[in-house]
Amino acid sequence: MKRGVRIAASLAGLAIAMIAAATAPQDGTDIAAPFLVRGVEGDVLTTRLLTTRLDGIELADALEQDAYSSPRIDTEGQWLVVHLTVQTRQSTEGLSAARLLLDGREYGNYIGADDDLARIQNGPGIATSGTLVFELPADALRGAGAGHAELRLQTQVAPTLDDVPTYTLDLRGAHRSAEFRIPRPRVVEPLT
Amino acid sequence: MARDRGRLIRRAVIGGIAGVIVVAALAIVVSGGLADDGGRRVTTYRVGERIESGNARTVVESVTLSTRRPGSGFEASDGRRWLVITVVQTNLSDAPLFVTNLRIGINYGTALDQRDTTRSIDRAAGGQAASPLPPGVPTRLWYVFDVPATAAPDDETVVGVYRADRTYGDPVFGDTGYGSPYPVGRVPVDRVEDEG
Amino acid sequence: MTGRPRIAAGARRHLLAGGVAVASGGMLASLLFFEPFLPGAPAATPVHRVARGDTAEVEGSGFRIGAAGFFTAESDQPVDVPAGYAVLGVLVPITPGSSASPDPGSCDIVLVAPGGPGGVDREWTSEVDPGQYDYGTTRGTRSICQFGDDGEKVTYEGVFLVPDDVYAAASLEIRFTSPKSDGYARSVYRFALPADPVG
């Protein structure tokens, strides 16, 4: 080949390589992000591992429970109580890694309550109703995003490439009480 | 001939400079870098003062000695007492923060320093878990140490405020590793409340 | 001396390169095509199917399904579960033989049925507190799978809370892990359930 053609081909190859490197995905998070299966209160959402239904939300200043060691759980902020019915599809799953996204911040469900739904380990096809609780700052409802917070029912902390039931919540209209008594989770009729 | 010598001299000079640089670099690396050794210059704070570092705000409120554990009221074993440091921690980041990142130490007796695991951390407002700390909510915690009844500080009582960075793993389950704790403040305490 | 016509040197090089290209390209194409049919690594855990009524011999002890029951809120012996569910009870007599090993390893018992997402089997573990459903366990049975101690025959009782339509397709799976001396080898035995359960 002519020398000029060879040089041009090499430069073209170099240019392609540079473009590929420059446009390569910068970090892995977007590629490996979870798939969000969306719904609102009352919707039954089905993902690979779970079938879930959001039954309601409410706010409380303190939690009460039938635990000798900790009958009352207080906070400087406020408690968001999420009523859920959850059914697994293959084996047992835990919800200890559930997340609430609000105004750019991420909250994890409080894991120090005795009877929360996160501990339930019923087998596939068995629907269990109970609650998860999230501790939020006192001024959480004044943010612009309070009308569309996102509840993600993750079974693990980093659910890459898996589908996650995601409920949009309007916190502004939620009923508020001074105390909420955490109920024991109970088996209810199947969701599917 | 002259050219060869010139070349030789140039090479010797370059080699010498390179050697000096290498030795200097090694000396810096071995001595721990150009930054201050964290242990020697830690800011002193007062009880009640805000310490902000590493995504959290820490306020040391009090130190108490007691035979009854706060919250549960459990009695300490014979010859032992509960040494409790009350601290308010606030997560300043945008994601859940685990209290294992926020260590507290105290120079009370021979066994208590930041290398020693804080014995346990109780949530003063109730609940079985101190973690996760949600963003923006000040949370009062009891850092509880089980000490001999005869324990006393060497000189003045000083509370150490430390941070530890998570190095790998997920924060809820799984293998979570933390780097060595580094100090972000020291808080001398005038009086330790002795509740008997 | 050079009587026969020779292939020109340049053409020889091209022929060689072409040959290599054809050989490797052909190999690649055929590998891509045949990859699914290549023998894979042997399955790590052998699954043995045990027919209805049969006994499986593992580490010198015999395992079989003694009896099974399937109870709903509507049964003659009802259980306290919502509509759509049943309590499946299984009795597994474990009989040590004359050659039973003193250290036979461990076993886990789960109930399995097809129908999970992506073709994976569903599985249930035994209830820790069957009494909450008004299920009365048989006296003397154990709730943990254990090989007979000291040559004693024991009966394991599994109690599973399941949807009320799984019985026909369900099997009882016993998963064995051999002791350290056998390298913790795993094996799985799948027992067919009786055709006519109690309840």
pLDDT of residue B164: 86
Residues of A at the B interface (Cβ-Cβ below 8 Å)?
A: 63, 67, 69-77, 96-97, 104-108, 110-114, 134-138, 140, 156-158
For residues B112 and B82, give the distance between their C-alpha atoms in angstroms, rounded to a whole number.
Answer: 13
Band of pLDDT at residue C131, cut at 50, 70 and 90: very high
Collect all residues of chain A within an 8 Å Cβ-Cβ radius of residue B137.
75-77, 135-138
User: Which chain C residues contact residue A187 at CB under 8 A?
Assistant: 81-82, 85, 161
Most confidently modeled range among A44-58, B16-30, C181-195: A44-58
Contact present, A65 and A88 (Cβ < 8 Å): no
A76/B128 CB distance under 8 A: no
List pLDDT tens digits, range A117-127. 887 778 999 99
Q: Which residue of B has its CA nearest to A106?
A: B95
- CA C130 to CA C87: how far, in whole Å? 9
Q: Specify whether the CB–CB gap between B108 and B83 falls below 8 A.
A: yes
Tokens of B26: 């090694």
Q: Find, among C132, C139, C175, the residue nearest to C155 by Cα.
A: C139
The dihedral formed by the CA atoms of C100, C105, C111 and C114, expressed in degrees to the nearest 10? -110
Which tokens hold the place of C113?
A: 């049925």
pLDDT tens-digit readout, C107-127: 899 999 999 988 899 999 999
CATH number assigned to the domain covering A32-188: 2.60.40.1240
Confidence of residue A189 (pLDDT cuts 50, 70, 90): very high
Q: Following DSSP, what letter does each residue of B163-188 receive, concatenated? A: E--EEES-SSSS--EE---EEEEEEE
User: Per-domain residue ranges for chain A?
Assistant: 1-28, 32-188
Average pLDDT over residues A149-167: 86
Q: Chains A/B: 3 or more C-beta pairs closer than 8 A?
A: yes
Determine the average pLDDT of the residues in B170-191: 77
Query: Most A CBs within 10 Å: which of C72, C79, C85, C128, as the mutation test of the A interface?
Result: C85
Please indicate whether, in this complex, the C-beta atoms of B94 and A158 are within 8 angstroms of each other.
no
Band of pLDDT at residue B62, cut at 50, 70 and 90: very high
Cβ atoms B185, B45 nearer than 8 A: yes
Average pLDDT over residues A48-59: 95
Assess whether pLDDT exceeds 90 at residue A100: yes
Alpha-carbon distances, residue A55 vs A41, A129, A169, B180 (angstroms): 6, 9, 11, 44
Q: Could you give all domains of chain B from N- to C-terminal order, each with its CATH number?
A: 50-194 (2.60.40)
What mean pLDDT comes out for the span A62-81? 93
Pick the closest to residue C192 from C68, C16, C14, C28 (CA basis): C68
Here the tokens at position C37 are 């049919």
Give the pLDDT confidence of B142-174 residue by residue, as tens digits: 999 888 888 777 678 889 999 988 766 555 655
